[in-house]
Structure 1
Amino acid sequence: MPSTVTESLIFRDMFGTEAMRSVFSDETLVRRYLEVEVALALAEADVGVIPAEAAAKIEAAARAMKVDFDRLRHQTEITGYPILAIVHQLSEAAGDAGGYVHWGATTQDIMDSATVLQLRAAFDLIEAELAALRTALTDLARRHRDTPMAGRTHLQQALPVTFGYKAAVWLSMIERHSERLAQLRPRVLVGQLAGAAGTLASLGADGFAVQAAFCDRLGLCHPSATWHVARDGFAEAVGFLGLVTGSLGKIATDVMLMATTEFAELAEPFVKGRGASSTMPQKRNPISSELMLAAAKAVRQHVALMLDGMIHDLERATGPWHAEWIAIPESFILTSGALAQANFMLPGLVVDAPRMRANLDISGGLIVAEAVMMAAAPKLGRQHAHDVIYDACRIAATEQLQLADVLAGVPEICDALGGVEAIRQHCDPARYLGLAPQMVDRMLEAR
């Protein structure tokens, strides 16, 4: 019975997706092994290394054979790798052509190339999720281009922004991840065929020709050199997932904070019972955000594992390779789960614009103290204006007064700004949004 959250009958759809689990399932993985073995045989037949009829029989056997998983598991436990067990079953199924199975290859050639095929399919799923997320964030940014809210630094109100600006910042991260995915594909989706020590010695003078035909058969890029112990490609793939889930974790953290009772500016989409408490009927917990954050934390650990696993010894490793078997599938499944949660949550995100505006006013105008300072600076000098308004802010905060009322009693400020009405205009948070709306425009135009 499954015991991990990515496979659990209870938790698996909270932490992953069926499509991504399928990419990394045992059944799919074994089919990838067979696909690679077939590509090897056909490539060798293309070059004339093995008879074409033998390659055809191997291909037919791989297509028709039923894998004995109990036997495969037992032999893998003995050998430490699954490929020898697969080769035995395929060779038997291929009959008199069985002697040509796995010709000139080594275990890691087959396993690495199969993993690359998994990554290609997984990247396609990630790409689709990122595209959907970009659409959702584009809509949020456009709809809330001019929705004022408090911008916060160090968990304190800082200056006014717009919610559209915040969504555009989120969008900018996802846009870059889409660019990164396109850029890393040719570096990561590279075939592996090099033989026991990576020199293609077993294929002699035909080695490069077979390698090229093999990669072409699989639709993979050709390696510039053997990468048995050069694991930067796989580390980059998981590192990319760490970046994606890190961004999702940032979005989730913003949503969770803004959904707190005291802020109440956002809420995840309402689904009856979702986020409910077993004892507090009023609760509406931000479940999608919590799951996104959990995935970010877990994938981050796998990024560290993959970086550590880059340190392979000599021409074939004695253990770091095995760590990839843990980190790669789990990272992709967790990332798919986090993206699915984001694509559920963000399109239906409930944005309370009136509450955002009300929160802008809770400081009594203190949030726009900079606006008043900068307006007075041309006449008073920047530092003197800062000092005068700093003192006014302390009075307003201590005595719970409106900043505009305190400043109206400061002759220097009245004179510098041109009267009490001008002071009140400068103390209106909605009038000090900077270029936040224009930044939304620029972000959307760049898409």
Structure 2
Amino acid sequence: MSINPADSQIFGTLYGTDEIRALFSDNAHLQFMLDVEAALARAESKLALVPASVADAIGRAARVENLRLDYIADSTRRVGYPVVALVKELGRIAGDEAARYIHLGATTQDILDTALVLQLRAAFAIVRRDLIALARALADRAAKFRDTPIAGRTHLQHAVPTTFGLKCAVWASPLLNHLERLDQAAPRILVVQLGGAAGTLAALGADGPAVVEAFARELALGVPIQPWHVQRDGFAEAAALLGLICGSLSKFALDITLLMQTEVGEVSEPHEEGRGGSSTMPQKRNPIASEYIIGAARAVHALVPVMLEAMIADHERATGPWQSESLAIPQCVALTAGALAQARSIAEGMTVDTERMRRNLELSGGLIMAEAIATALAARIGRAAAEAAVARACNRSIAEGVPLATTLRSDPELRPHLPDAEIDRLTDPSLYLGSAGVFVDRLVARVAALG
């Protein structure tokens, strides 16, 4: 087992995805840093601070396969950062003339921060894609089961009927909010960092702001008001957003886990031979995907405070807090991507037992319809009297172990107000679904509008 299971050959598919592991691999991270250095050289060449031929040479050299990784690793152990060795390696490859211009006006944190921004941009695109795919899968389920009654549960007790379609819509709706949050956060987070030694860009003289703008254009990133090397709210927001996404995924996973209980049995995760099995109980089909979603969410939620703490930076270069970001951000991204993959597999392949839903609605002998009966009675005998009468009838049904309809028919005070036909109608869960269908239709339309 590796230190982080998301990187493990054995556990990796449970906690992350190959796509995200590749995005945050050593080679990918070094390539992003090289891309930043090459973009800086191109930007400065357009302002005549670096010869165009030199910028071209730096661009050609800026390939991770050209680097001596053992040299960079050894230097990083001594220096504390890989950028010093990376700049030397880039100079060695690009040639002596180019080496004079590489990293002009920049400092280590500029390269590390902007490279991480590039990684986050790629990660956001992946997360956005997977949120849309999950929302579509759940919307499809919502439409299919739009009018399928299921017991609505509050405090884990039967409350009133709802529909399975609405449950699916409720799982999907926050995903749309998260897509909006990603789009709204991008202009704040996806911006270049270039501040030089202490955020003044003094080494570039009067050209500093122009270099930042040209640098941002080269990388297709935003331009900040000023360097943000000691204002870490952007990265903290990214982690918090991932935490929100995981919170919504874990609500979905918890509901699936509860619906899979033997005593409930209304929904189950997709099954394949051996999936969710036990080493000693061959009958088991555990909610394994849901369990890993919840586990990932708890880990991301534990890492968000690390990112909030990293905002407490001293003066013009923090002594420690920002170094903790590299511990938290890749894990937040990997675990969120893994949770999304697990959630999508559930949404697309879940087994839905509508017959079990119907039988479970009948478990309480009609007690789940108490609100419907009290509401109908309130128009005839007043709300307080209706609620008291229905409560009395419910208590009697529970004590005698008989259906609520039977109790209502034998209650002399209620008989004048509740004919048999109306009792039959008021105790039918399929006739007390409120606006569930309307809410489902709204969600399905919103998801369809995603394109």
**Fold agreement, TM-score > 0.5:** yes
Of all paired residues, the percent bearing the same amino acid is: 50
Residue 65 of structure 1 deviates from its aligned partner by 5.8
Deviations 1:61-82 (A, max 9, x none): 2238621222111111111111
Q: Does 1:214 align with 2:215?
A: yes
Contact 1:41/1:100, CA 8 A, preserved across alignment: yes
Contact 1:168/1:440, CA 8 A, preserved across alignment: yes
Q: Does 1:112 align with 2:104?
A: no
Q: Distance in 1 between matches of 2:444 and 2:413?
A: 43
2:191 alignment partner in structure 1: 190
Residue 52 of structure 1 deviates from its aligned partner by 1.8
Q: Secondary structure at the match of 1:274?
A: coil
RMSD value, Cα: 1.2
Q: Distance in 2 between matches of 1:64 and 1:149?
A: 56
Compared CA separation, residues 65 and 161, structure 1 to 2 (3 A): closer
Q: Does 1:353 align with 2:354?
A: yes
In the alignment, residue 87 of structure 1 is paired with which amino acid?
V
1:181 alignment partner in structure 2: 182
1:20 alignment partner in structure 2: 20
Contact 1:414/1:423, CA 8 A, preserved across alignment: no
1:430 alignment partner in structure 2: 430
Give TM-score scaled by structure 2 length.
Answer: 0.97
Q: Distance in 2 between matches of 1:50 and 1:376?
A: 84
In the alignment, residue 399 of structure 2 is paired with which amino acid?
T
Q: Distance in 2 between matches of 1:256 and 1:363?
A: 22
Deviations 1:86-123 (A, max 9, x none): 11111122222211111110111100000000011111
Q: Does 1:267 align with 2:268?
A: yes
Q: Secondary structure at the match of 1:446?
A: helix
Q: Distance in 2 between matches of 1:438 and 1:60?
A: 58
1:338 alignment partner in structure 2: 339
1:381 alignment partner in structure 2: 382
Contact 1:194/1:226, CA 8 A, preserved across alignment: yes
Deviations 1:368-423 (A, max 9, x none): 10100000001111011101111111110111110011111223322223x12212
Matches within 5 A, 1:150-165: 150-165=151-166
Q: Distance in 2 between matches of 1:186 and 1:445?
A: 27
1:396 alignment partner in structure 2: 397
Q: Secondary structure at the match of 1:282?
A: coil
In the alignment, residue 435 of structure 2 is paired with which amino acid?
L
Q: Secondary structure at the match of 1:102?
A: coil
Contact 2:192/2:221, CA 8 A, preserved across alignment: yes
Q: Distance in 1 between matches of 2:288 and 2:124?
A: 26
1:280 alignment partner in structure 2: 281
1:148 alignment partner in structure 2: 149
Deviations 1:39-62 (A, max 9, x none): 111111110112222222222222
1:245 alignment partner in structure 2: 246
Residue 27 of structure 1 deviates from its aligned partner by 0.2
2:43 alignment partner in structure 1: 43
Contact 1:150/1:160, CA 8 A, preserved across alignment: yes
Contact 2:30/2:64, CA 8 A, preserved across alignment: no
In the alignment, residue 90 of structure 2 is paired with which amino acid?
L
Residue 302 of structure 1 deviates from its aligned partner by 1.1
Deviations 1:112-165 (A, max 9, x none): 000000011111111111111011001100000011010000011101000000
Q: Distance in 2 between matches of 1:395 and 1:233?
A: 59
Contact 2:31/2:64, CA 8 A, preserved across alignment: no
Q: Distance in 1 between matches of 2:7 and 2:332?
A: 13
1:34 alignment partner in structure 2: 34
Contact 1:404/1:423, CA 8 A, preserved across alignment: yes
1:124 alignment partner in structure 2: 125
Residue 446 of structure 1 deviates from its aligned partner by 3.0
Compared CA separation, residues 65 and 371, structure 1 to 2 (3 A): closer
Contact 2:15/2:334, CA 8 A, preserved across alignment: yes
In the alignment, residue 446 of structure 1 is paired with which amino acid?
R
Compared CA separation, residues 363 and 117, structure 1 to 2 (3 A): same
Q: Distance in 2 between matches of 1:409 and 1:119?
A: 67
Q: Does 1:137 align with 2:133?
A: no
Contact 1:148/1:356, CA 8 A, preserved across alignment: yes
Contact 2:34/2:64, CA 8 A, preserved across alignment: no
Q: Distance in 1 between matches of 2:81 and 2:446?
A: 48
Q: Distance in 1 between matches of 2:202 and 2:351?
A: 63
Compared CA separation, residues 2 and 67, structure 1 to 2 (3 A): farther
| More off after superposition, 344-353 vs 90-99 | 90-99
Which runs of no fewer than 5 residues in structure 1 stay unpaired?
none
Q: Secondary structure at the match of 2:271?
A: coil
In the alignment, residue 336 of structure 2 is paired with which amino acid?
T
Deviations 1:310-366 (A, max 9, x none): 111111111110111011111111111111111111111100001001000000111
Runs of 4+ in 1 over 6 A off after TM superposition: none
Contact 1:65/1:93, CA 8 A, preserved across alignment: no
Q: Does 1:406 align with 2:412?
A: no
Q: Secondary structure at the match of 1:6?
A: helix
Q: Distance in 1 between matches of 2:63 and 2:283?
A: 56
Give TM-score scaled by structure 1 length.
Answer: 0.98
Q: Distance in 1 between matches of 2:64 and 2:164?
A: 57
Q: Does 1:79 align with 2:79?
A: yes
In the alignment, residue 440 of structure 1 is paired with which amino acid?
V
Q: Distance in 2 between matches of 1:15 and 1:434?
A: 39
Q: Does 1:307 align with 2:305?
A: no
Contact 1:65/1:90, CA 8 A, preserved across alignment: no
Q: Secondary structure at the match of 1:159?
A: strand
Q: Secondary structure at the match of 2:331?
A: helix
Deviations 1:161-182 (A, max 9, x none): 0000000111101111111111
Q: Secondary structure at the match of 1:193?
A: coil
Q: Distance in 1 between matches of 2:55 and 2:232?
A: 31
In the alignment, residue 120 of structure 1 is paired with which amino acid?
R
